[in-house]
Structure 1
Amino acid sequence: MAPVILASASPRRKQLLEWAEVDFEIMVADTDESYPAHYDPEAVAAHIALHKALAVAERAGNSRPIIAADTIVVLGGEVIGKPRDREDAIGILSRLSGKVHQVITGVSIQYPAGAINFTDTTEVAFHELTAEQVAFYVDKYKPYDKAGAYAIQEWIGVVGIKNIKGDFYNVMGLPVSRVVQALASIGY
């Protein structure tokens, strides 16, 4: 079988599919990541993932599965995106400190006979973080390409996360076991 297409340049999604031993190649397309203001957070993640998948399908055709995903962080119902700069990253992590937030990944798998679309939600609880811990993490790891200004698999996850409820890999950016199950259900 031809490899599936991963419609993402994320090194974390690439790593997760490699760990799952899924045969894939990467193809990305510029996609508008805006969404209607009235969407709830799950709909936001699903909407952006679907548009990423459809943009790549338009370029690549739809002869094999295309996997697209979008991960968002939600605190108190507010979608928190990627930080704009150092100050924004520090502000985001300071807001997450000592609180529980949700990480929601929307997944869209487009394939010749149809589509599989779903979201996966993981609750993440942070310990209280000191200003020094937050500044250290931001300055050393520069989490500017990460929703919520952090990566669970980095230092902040090791020392700052109290617990999670749900799929750890979802927080990394892809609920890979669900993706593998979805691919199996369509014969991949």
Structure 2
Amino acid sequence: MDKIILASSSPRRRELLNRYKLNPVIVESNIEEKIISGEEPEQIAMSLAFEKAYEVSTRFNESEIVIGADTIVAFQKNILGKPKDEKEAYEIIKLLSGREHYVITGISIIKVNTNIKLVDYERTKVKFRNLSEDKIKKYISTKEYLDKAGAYGIQGYGEILVERIEGCYSNVVGLPLGKLDHLLNKFFNINIL
């Protein structure tokens, strides 16, 4: 099997792939994540995923398979990025309280030294419970919001914030495994499981 490179520093993505014994080589991309206003969230996620995969792929030359991903949280056409501090994290969670939002992960797979470059995305609808101010503050105090789009992690304490999801759970964690398995199988004859 070709060596798999994960163009991400996300511990959650690494954990998801390691669970399936893919044991990717982790190589962080050096792109500057720019969001162009007016673009649809899906376009932004796919573009960033491709940029990450492409930048990392230029460092290899032996048919490695490079996987790039970017997860964004969209609420009413607004993109909710990673909060810069506790205050912003509080505001994001309060905004999402009792409401639905979308978690969109762009995914890109590039096979080095070939013309194979794939880009796709997965979208999952998430509905938060109605959260009291105290509940939000307790969640923020866990510091789990750090480095997370939308200021929460569904795989951790953030699970308690969620009333329901429609779609792929692993997408909300940061990597849509069903979509990834489908793409790897269809284009590279690789099965995750």
Distance in 1 (CA, whole Å) between partners of 2:62 and 2:107 is 17
What residue is the counterpart of 2:36 in the other structure? 36
Contact 2:109/2:117 (8 A) holds in 1: yes
Write the mapping of 1:20-169 to structure 2, written as runs, cut at 5 A.
20-61=20-61, 63-111=63-111, 112-157=114-159, 159-169=160-170
Which amino acid in structure 2 is aligned with residue 60 of structure 1? F
How does the TM-score come out when normalised to structure 1?
A: 0.95
Residue 152 of structure 1 aligns to a residue in which SS? coil
- CA shift, 1:36, in A, is 2.3
- CA shift, 1:62, in A, is 6.2
Distance in 1 (CA, whole Å) between partners of 2:16 and 2:158 is 20
Contact 1:62/1:110 (8 A) holds in 2: no
Structure 1 residue runs without a partner (length 5+): none
Q: Deviations over 1:31-63 (max 9, x none)?
A: 111032221110010011010011101122362
- CA shift, 1:2, in A, is 3.5
Which amino acid in structure 1 is aligned with residue 102 of structure 2? Q
Aligned length: 187
How does the TM-score come out when normalised to structure 2?
A: 0.92
What residue is the counterpart of 1:170 in the other structure? 171
Q: Deviations over 1:123-149 (max 9, x none)?
A: 000011111111111111341200000
Aligned-pair Cα RMSD in Å: 1.3
- CA shift, 1:23, in A, is 3.6
Contact 1:105/1:119 (8 A) holds in 2: yes
Residue 92 of structure 1 aligns to a residue in which SS? helix
Residue 60 of structure 1 aligns to a residue in which SS? coil
Aligned identity (percent) is: 35
Distance in 1 (CA, whole Å) between partners of 2:185 and 2:158 is 34
Which amino acid in structure 2 is aligned with residue 152 of structure 1? I
Distance in 2 (CA, whole Å) between partners of 1:49 and 1:145 is 17
Moved over 6 A (4+): none
Residue 59 of structure 2 aligns to a residue in which SS? helix
Residue 127 of structure 2 aligns to a residue in which SS? strand
Residue 141 of structure 1 aligns to a residue in which SS? coil
Structure 2 residue runs without a partner (length 5+): none
